[in-house]
Amino acid sequence: MSQTLDQQQISNLFKEAAITAAWNTDAAPALGRELRVEVQNSREFGLVVKVGVGGVEGTLETNAFRKGRATIAAAVELVDAEGLLELFQKTHAYQRLSALEAQAKQGSPDQALTEIFSGVLQLANQYSPSNTETSQIIETLIIDPLVINNGTATIGAAEVQFGDRVEGPVPRPIHKIDKLIHPESIGIIGVSGTKMNFGRIILHNVIDSGYDKARLTILKPGDDKEVDGVKCVPSLADLENKLDLLIVAVPSGAVYDLVDQIIATDAVEAVMLIPGSLGETKASVEPAAELAAKINKAHLNESGGPIFLGANCLGVVSHPGNYDSWFIPLERLPKPQKKKERNSVMLSQSGAFMITRLSRNPWLDPRYMLALGNQTDLTHGDMLTYFAELPELETIGIYIEGFKDLDGLHFARAVRKATLSGKQVVIYKSGRTEAGMKGVMGHTASIAGDPQLFESVLKQAGAIITTEFTEFDDIFYIAGALHNKQINGNRLGAISGAGFEAVGMADSAETDSYGLVAGELTPASVEKVEAILEAKRLSALVEVRNPIDINPGADDEAHLQISEAFAADPNIDAVVVGLDPTAPSVRSLVESKKRPGYDISDPKSTVTLMPELVNRNDKPIIGVVDGGELYDAMAAKLMDQGTCVFRTSSRAVLALTRYTEARLNADAIRRKHNQ
C-alpha cells in the first residue's frame, strides 16, 4: 500500500531528521537559487538521491548541459552529505548559485546544502529497502523548489510517498563459485554419441583445454559406457560422488524437469545452463520465473543448494581451472598467453561480446571469462562480489544488459569493495537507447533501466563506465597495462615525429567530464631534450615544447630518450609517444630489404628498447604505432612484452584521459574511506 503524506506530516518527518529549513510556499521564484532534491526508490539501486536545478528551469537545464553538469545522482547507501556536496559542486546549478551568493556578499551555500543533504540522507537510510528494521520505505521524496539565499535554506514545496517494504530473494551461496571456476569434477549432460552437437563440442573443448578425462562424467541415458574416452552414467542418481560442476546442454524444454532432479538429488554444487529462450519469449516468461523461484527456494536448504550460471549461457573459460566449456571450437579463438601473469576477469551477459573482444584484442587475456546469460540464479552482483575478493585479480571487465531487482545496489557495493581493495572495474552497459532496450529484453530477458542513473551511481561507486565497444576494449586494455603505474595527475607529455599526430593528441585529451593538459617542461628537461636533439643532429629542425614534433628524421633512440626525459619531468604525469613506424630512421619492419638488419630484431629497435624503458619508469609511457599491416608485428611484439601500445594517437590519449579520471576518482574514494 502506498501513502502520500500531507504538508504537516512532511514537516514532522523533516523535523525528525533535523531538516531545519523554513517553509514558504508563497515565495516568489528566485531564479538561479532554486534547487530540486529528490529521493527515488529505483528498481535496480534501491533509494537514489538526485540534486539539480529546481523550479521552472529544471527540465530545460537538465537537457541543456553535459552529463553531470545539470543533475547528479548517487546511491543513498554509498554517499554521505559531504560526498553529495562534492558531486554537486561540479554542476552548473551549484556554480551559478555560488556566484550569486558571492555577488551578494552572502558567503558560501555549502553549509546550508550540507545540512539539507545530511537530513535527506538520514531519512532515506532510515526508510530504505536495505533497512530490515522498517516495514515502510520511501518511494518518492521531492523538495522542489529548495531556495538557498543568504546561507539559509527555504522549502517552497515538498512531497513524500511511502510504500511497503518487500523481502528480496534468498542470498545465493556465492562461495560455490569456486566450484564453478576450479571444478575437481565435471559432468556434462546433452552429449551425442553419434554427431557433433553442442554438448559434444563442449566435451571436446573441455578435453582439448587440458582437463583430465578421468575427472569427467557424461550423463547419458542408455547403455553407453563411454563417449570419446569419457565414462557415461545414466542419471544423477547413478553418480558415485557429488559433482563440483554440471554443464547442461539439453534443449530448453528439458531444463525444467532436469532442474527439479538436480535440486532433489543434491548431487551437484554448481550448474551451467547453456540453453537459451528461458524467459526471453512470451511463452517462457512464466515457466522461467517458476524455475527461478524453485532455485531460490533451494538456497534455504542446509547445503545452500546448487548455484546456477545462465540460462542462455555460452559457458566458462578458466585458465586456473584448466577448462574451457564454450561451445565455440578452440581453433576459432586466439588464446595464447599474452601476459606473464593473467590478472583480469571478464564477466558478460553476452558470450559473443567476450568472443569478439578477445578475437579483436588477444592482449586482454583474462584469467577467467564467464557468461552470465539470463541471471536465472547468479547475478552481476553475486559474480562481482566474489571476484572482488580474489587477490590475484587486478582488473574486472563487465558487459551488462540489465539488473535483477535491487541487484544494481548489490553490484554497486561490490564495485566499491573492489575499488577499495585496489581493483579496477571497467563496464560496458547496453540498452542506452529505446531500440537498445528492446534488444536487451529479447536477448537475455533483461530490463535495461535508466542509463544515466546507471552511469552516475556506478561512477560514484568507483567504476569506469564505457559507452562504445572499442572504448571498452581500450579502457580494459589500458587498465591492465597501467595498473601498477603511478597516476599522479592530468599533465600529459606528447611526443611524435608527425605534426598531425602531436596536435591530434592534444585534441583528444578532453571528455565531457575531464581533460588532460600539456605539462610545462622544466628548464632542466628542456636542456636535456635539446642535448638529445643536438646529438641526433635535429636541433636546428625542432623547437623543444610540449607537445613536441621531433621530425621524421628522428630514429628509435631519439623517440625513446625524449620520452624518458619527459617522464622524468616533475610537471609530467604520463607520456604518449608516437613511434612513427613509417619514418625512414625507425626500425619498424620485420625485414628491411633496403637496409638489411635495420628492423625490429635490431638491438637498437624500439621493440628491443622500449619495454626496458617502460619497466624502469613508474609513470605511464604509452606507444602509438600508427600504420598499416606492415607494422602489425612491431605493435604485437611490443604488446607481447607488456608495453602499452595503441594504433592511433586519438585512441591512446582518449583512453588515457578516461583512465586517469577513473584512477584519481578511485584514489579519492580510498583516501576518504581511510580517513
Q: What is the pLDDT of residues 577-606, one digit of tens each?
A: 999 999 999 999 999 988 888 999 999 999
- Domain membership of residue 153 (yes or no) is yes
Angstrom distance (rounded) from CA 654 to CA 509 = 6
Q: What is the pLDDT of residue 443?
A: 43
Among 431, 452, 481, give the residue marking a domain's end: 481
Closest CA to 158 of 137, 147, 148, 144: 144
Give residue for cell 550423463.
219
Q: What is the distance of C-alpha 382 from the center of its chain?
A: 15
Helix (H, G, I), strand (E, B) or coil at 510: strand
Three-state DSSP state, 395: strand
Tell whether 194 is covered by a domain.
Answer: yes
Cβ within 8 Å of residue 428, ≥6 positions away: 353, 398, 399, 400, 466, 467, 468, 469, 471, 472
Contact residues for 320 (Cβ-Cβ < 8 A; gap 6+):
181, 182, 367, 368
pLDDT at res. 328: 79
Q: For the chain, how many structural domains are there in total?
A: 3
- The pLDDT confidence band at residue 441, using thresholds 50, 70 and 90, is very low
Last residue of a domain, one of 143, 164, 185: 164
Q: Do residue 201 and residue 346 come from a single domain? A: yes
Within a domain: 508: yes
The band of 440, judged by pLDDT with boundaries at 50, 70 and 90, is very low
pLDDT in tens, 376-417: 999 999 999 999 999 999 999 999 999 999 999 999 999 999
pLDDT band at 69 (very low <50, low <70, confident <90, very high): low
Say if residues 258 and 264 touch (Cβ distance below 8 Å). no
Arithmetic mean of pLDDT, 182-190: 98
Q: Poorest-confidence range of 440-454, 568-582, 648-662?
A: 440-454
pTM of the model: 0.92
- Out of 41-55, 455-469, 493-507, pick the least confident: 493-507
Question: Which pLDDT score, from 0 to 100, does residue 434 have?
Answer: 52
Share of the chain above pLDDT 90, in %: 78
382 φ, ψ (degrees, to nearest 5): -60, -50
**CA separation, residue 651 to residues 436, 624, 626, 646 (Å):** 25, 9, 11, 7
Mean pLDDT of the chain: 91
User: Do 438 and 553 share a domain, yes or no?
Assistant: no
Judge if the upstream peptide bond of residue 275 is cis by omega within 30 degrees of 0: no
Note whether 201 and 258 are same-domain residues.
yes
Residues 472 and 521 placed together within one structural domain of the fold: no
Are 552 and 539 within one domain? yes
pLDDT higher than 50, residue 336:
yes
What does the alpha-carbon distance between residue 638 and residue 474 come to, in Å, rounded to a whole number?
16
The mean pLDDT of 5-16, rounded to a whole number, is 93
Strand 645-646 relative to strand 158-164, pairing:
unpaired
pLDDT at 64 over 90: no
Query: What's 41's domain CATH number?
Result: 3.30.470.20
Tell whether 104 is covered by a domain: yes
CB 578 within 8 A of CB 649: yes
Amino acid letter for position 446: S
Q: Is residue 639 part of a domain?
A: yes
Question: How is residue 295 written as a grid cell?
Answer: 532455485
- Please tell me whether residues 422 and 505 are part of one structural domain: no
Beta carbons of 11 and 417 less than 8 angstroms apart: no
Mean local confidence (pLDDT), 32-56: 92
Q: What is the CATH number of the domain that holds 458?
A: 3.40.50.261
Question: How many angstroms from the chain centroid is the CA of residue 107?
Answer: 40
Of residues 503, 504, 509, 479, the one with CA closest to residue 491: 509
- Of the pLDDT bands very low, low, confident and very high (cuts 50, 70, 90), residue 277 is confident
pLDDT tier at 28, thresholds 50, 70, 90: confident
Distance between CA 648 and CA 628 in Å, rounded?
Answer: 11
Segments in 536-648 forming alpha helices (H): 556-568, 606-616, 632-640
Task: Indicate the DSSP class of residue 652.
Answer: H
Interatomic CA distance for residues 370 and 379, integer angstroms: 12
Per-residue pLDDT tens digits for 129-181: 999 999 999 999 999 999 999 889 999 999 999 999 988 889 999 999 999 99
Average pLDDT over every residue of 439-450: 50
Residue 449 lies in a domain: yes
**If you average pLDDT over each of 132-136, 200-204, 400-404, 568-572, which comes out highest?**
568-572
pLDDT bracket for residue 60 (50, 70, 90): low
Residue 264 domain flag: yes
Report the pLDDT value the prediction gives residue 432, as an integer from 0 to 100. 60
Q: What is the pLDDT of residue 518?
A: 95
- Please determine, for residue 119, whether its predicted confidence score (pLDDT) is greater than 90: yes
Q: Is the pLDDT of residue 127 over 80?
A: yes
| Model pLDDT, residue 445 | 47
pLDDT band at residue 59 using 50, 70 and 90 as cut-offs: low
- The residue whose grid cell reads 542506452 is 432
Same domain for 114 and 251, yes or no, is no
Residue 579's Cα: distance from chain center in Å? 30
Rounded to the nearest 10 degrees, the angle between the axes of helix 81-88 and helix 110-126 is 130
Least confident range of 30-34, 190-194, 543-547: 30-34
In whole angstroms, give the CA distance from residue 587 to residue 585: 7
Query: Nine-digit cell at 674?
Result: 581511510
Structural domain of residue 188, as residue ranges? 174-481
**CA-closest candidate to residue 458, choices 12, 177, 68:** 68
- Contact criterion met (CB below 8 Å) for 500 and 584: no
Give the separation between CA 12 and CA 8, rounded to whole angstroms: 6
- Rounded average pLDDT over 476-504: 91
Chain Cα centroid distance, residue 25: 44
Compute and round to an integer the Cα radius of gyration of the chain.
29
In a domain, 169, yes or no: no
Residue 439 confidence (pLDDT):
46
Which of 428, 457, 481 is the last residue before a domain boundary? 481
In this predicted structure, the answer to whether residue 67 has a pLDDT above a threshold of 70 is no
pLDDT band at 435 (very low <50, low <70, confident <90, very high): very low
Residues 229 and 308 in one domain: yes
204 vs 405: CA distance, rounded Å = 37
For residues 90 and 109, membership in a common domain is answered with yes
Nearest to 202 by CA among 183, 214, 187: 187
User: Do 377 and 294 fall into the same domain?
Assistant: yes
- Residue 436 above 50 pLDDT? no
The residue that leads in pLDDT, 377 or 287, is 377
The answer to whether residues 235 and 282 belong to one domain is yes
In 17-73, where does DSSP find H-type helix?
58-64
Q: Verify that 217 and 287 share a domain, yes or no.
A: yes
